[in-house]
Structure 1
Amino acid sequence: MKAVVFEDVGRPGIHDRAVPSFAPDEVLVRVAATGICGTDRAILLGEYPARRGVVLGHEAVGAVAGAGAGVGSVAPGDRVVINPTYHCDRCRLCRRGLPAHCGAKAGREVGVDRDGTMADYAVVPERFVHRLPASVSYRRGALVEPLACVLNNLAAARPRWDDRVLVVGAGPIGALCALVLARRGARVTLAERDQGRVALARLLLPRAVRVLTAEEAAGAGRPDVAIDTTGALPGDVLGAMADGGTVVVMGEKEAGVATVPLRSLVTRGIRLVGAGPYRPADFALAVDLARELPLEDLVTHVLPLERYAEALAMLAVAPAAPATGGYSAMKVLLTTDEGVAP
């Protein structure tokens, strides 16, 4: 099979790999589509740690191609979406009800230190595959995993019905946050520095979402809730909050640092939250919500796996990135299935 492999920082490559074998409790998935995530981008830019030689990708849908003897919940031919976030259910954190922070993840994170889904086939334990609802296309289902991330962070933000909500960053995660918030009836503003992404967000998101440049957002009033999907601006966001507000830092950058004025934080009653990875329940909820949310509206490009370099260039990943360094896509899918329409 073909697979996109992390060779080194700034150097992905397509390799020939054997179709992986599977254990009695595992499922072999014929991957139909994999979304390129900000984490994949960060790995290639050296901003997120990953094992060299690992197959990239974790936002995946496909069909069961084989199942171990102990597998009973799915069968060959079933359409599924993969939950790539491992939890053991046995360690202290799992037993305390914190499976998102499982202490046994090392070596088991799909697309990071366990082979991922930018390939023709992927193997995952049975309990990490979910059947896709019949009404959910592969194109829509490929955004279930990022939707689970969003649901987890919105739960941490706890916005009230009358809150003014600011989402920082108009990439796929920021756009998903805004889409879900608008669907709930929230007053949501999406702020972005990159002009290309501002234009895409204005084109793709419903009119209920106010999309502003960073300069416009600075004069748009103090939000009650802010979700920083970039991981780079929590200090700036904290200074712009209304008293009693909440800031959720959702984006992850290995070198991200913020200087926080503690007196202001305390006297103004600002809550700073890191939600961490999503829980299994968040993923199951995302699968269910995919029945009604038009997630596919955020997919701007679908390319065959072999054109991975072109896909990465759309997301400003070197060495194929455009000289401007800007973005020319929102969510990009890599596919091995001609049925996933471009």
Structure 2
Amino acid sequence: MIDKNRVFRVLQLAGLVGLLAACGPSFAAESDAAGDEIEVVPVRGGVYMLVGGGVNATLQIGDDGVLLVDTMQEDMAEHLLAAVRKLSDKPIRYVLNTSGNPDQVGGNPVIAAAGSTINAGNVAGAIADSTVGAAVVAHENVLTRMSVQDPPPPFEGWPTSTYFFTPTKDVFFNGEAIQLIYQPDAVTNGDSFVYFRRSDVISAGSIFDFTRYPFIDVDNGGTFAGTLESLNNLIDLTVPEDKQEGGTMVIPARGRLCDESEVVEYRDMLTIIGNYIREMIDEGRSLEQVLEARPTLAYDPRYGADSGSWTTDMFVETVYREFTANGSSEQ
């Protein structure tokens, strides 16, 4: 017997995806950067998106020096450093990490070692110590995660400044207020947004991956519910320009430069998939039956994967197990 409700949902989702695709540039091809190449995308003012090895980093340059948000994978570190040096010969003062994932911290040792720390703080003289690398700033849980790994990553790449008891950490650099804003239990337990307030640019990290379903790292405290909540927080921070286009720019962990409309689409997509899985759980369906029903079907052409380190089935299973562990009606 045909499940009419399921057919209706699939057609409804397919129609939504078709509508989004019809919007043209919203779903344009991703960056052409490939291999060791680093593509530089000017965003606003002194803020740039750097694209290489399939991931993004954020660069801010100005009179005070260079600040980087995330450092890509370990094997991209030298290429990232070379790309930075083409844009500025000022000292690298800060590395801000949005999480402890290898795609965000892999290049920390190389990038930090190439920089120098401002010893006297942002106000009192800005005296640099060239014998000490750039300051590495992240949430305390990033430091904890790196310190307990076996084997641990190089000590030179560990955070040198962390925050834990407050929801934000402030940095003032190149004439701009910059905030790290903690997002509890998102894709990990150590995620932060980095908000460039004057430039109105947000580096969102792995919470917003515009190329796939979010990699919810359960072993490191990640949750589907926390990821959705963090996306809602991201939307609260963004302000669109005319006709919901432009305004606050958002740099995802992967994929092209975005604005609020793409974040809303991504959040809505996850909400729809989550609601569909929850309904099937309430109907008493097993994990195998949910996987067979393909609750992500309408979005798989854009975000799905049948192979690799994070497949569509792995994403669905993670959401299913979280819902069943907590009681689906409570989500």
Q: TM-score range by the shorter chain?
A: under 0.3
Greater helix fraction, Structure 1 or Structure 2: 2
Normalising to structure 1: TM-score of the pair? 0.23
Higher RCO (C-alpha under 8 Å, 6+ residues apart): 1
Normalising to structure 2: TM-score of the pair? 0.24
